A and B are shown apart, each in its own frame.
Chain A
Amino acid sequence: MNTTFKAMAAAIALGLPALALTTGPAFADEMAEGKWGEYQVGDKRSGYTYAGPETRAMQDDEFQNPAMLWLDTGMSEWENAAGDAGKACADCHGDAEESMAGVATKYPVYSEETGKMMNLEQRINFCRTENMQAEPYKWESDELLGMTAYVKNQSKGMPVDVSIDGPAKEFWEKGKEFYETRRGQLDLACTHCHVDNAGNLIRAETLSQGQGNGFPLYRLKWQKVGSLHRRFRGCNNNIRAEKLPYGSDEYTNLELYVTWRGNGLPIETPAVRK
Chain B
Amino acid sequence: MQRKTSAISAMVATAAVAGLALTAPAQAADLVDYKVVDDWTIPESLTGQPGDPVNGKVVAIDRKLGNCLSCHKMPIPEEQFHGETGPSLWGVGNRYEPEHLRLRIVDSKVINPETMMPAFYRVEGLHMVKDGFEDQPILTAQQVEDVVAYLMTLTEEEPQTN
Task: Please determine whether chains A and B interact with each other in the same assembly.
Answer: yes
Where the two chains meet, the residues of A that have a C-beta atom closer than 8 Å to any C-beta of B are 181-188, 192-193, 196-197, 200-204, 207, 236-237, 240-243
User: Cβ of B126: which chain A residues have Cβ within 8 Å of it?
Assistant: 182-185, 187
Contact, CB under 8 Å: A185 / B133: yes
Interface of B is mostly: loop
Contact, CB under 8 Å: B127 / A182: yes
User: Cβ of A186: which chain B residues have Cβ within 8 Å of it?
Assistant: 118, 138
Min distance, Cβ B85 to any Cβ of chain A, angstroms:
5
Query: Quick check: is B161 within 8 A (CB to CB) of the other chain?
Result: no
User: Cβ of A203: which chain B residues have Cβ within 8 Å of it?
Assistant: 69-70, 81-83
Cα separation A238 to B83 with both chains bound (whole Å): 16
Cα separation A207 to B71 with both chains bound (whole Å): 11
User: Cβ of B116: which chain A residues have Cβ within 8 Å of it?
Assistant: 188, 192, 196-197
Given contacts A185-B118, A186-B118, A197-B116, contact A202 B85 (CB under 8 A): yes
Contact, CB under 8 Å: B118 / A183: no
User: Cβ of A196: which chain B residues have Cβ within 8 Å of it?
Assistant: 116
Query: Quick check: is B80 within 8 A (CB to CB) of the other chain?
Result: yes
Contact, CB under 8 Å: B127 / A183: yes
Instruction: Using A184-B129, A203-B83, A241-B128 as known contacts, list a sample of 13 further A-B pairs with CB atoms less than 8 Å apart, ordered by residue number in A.
Output: A182-B126, A184-B133, A185-B136, A187-B109, A187-B126, A201-B81, A202-B70, A203-B69, A203-B70, A203-B82, A240-B133, A241-B129, A242-B128
Contact, CB under 8 Å: A201 / B129: no
Query: Quick check: is B119 within 8 A (CB to CB) of the other chain?
Result: yes
Contact, CB under 8 Å: A197 / B136: no
Contact, CB under 8 Å: B70 / A242: no
Min distance, Cβ A146 to any Cβ of chain B, angstroms:
30
Cα separation A123 to B127 with both chains bound (whole Å): 31
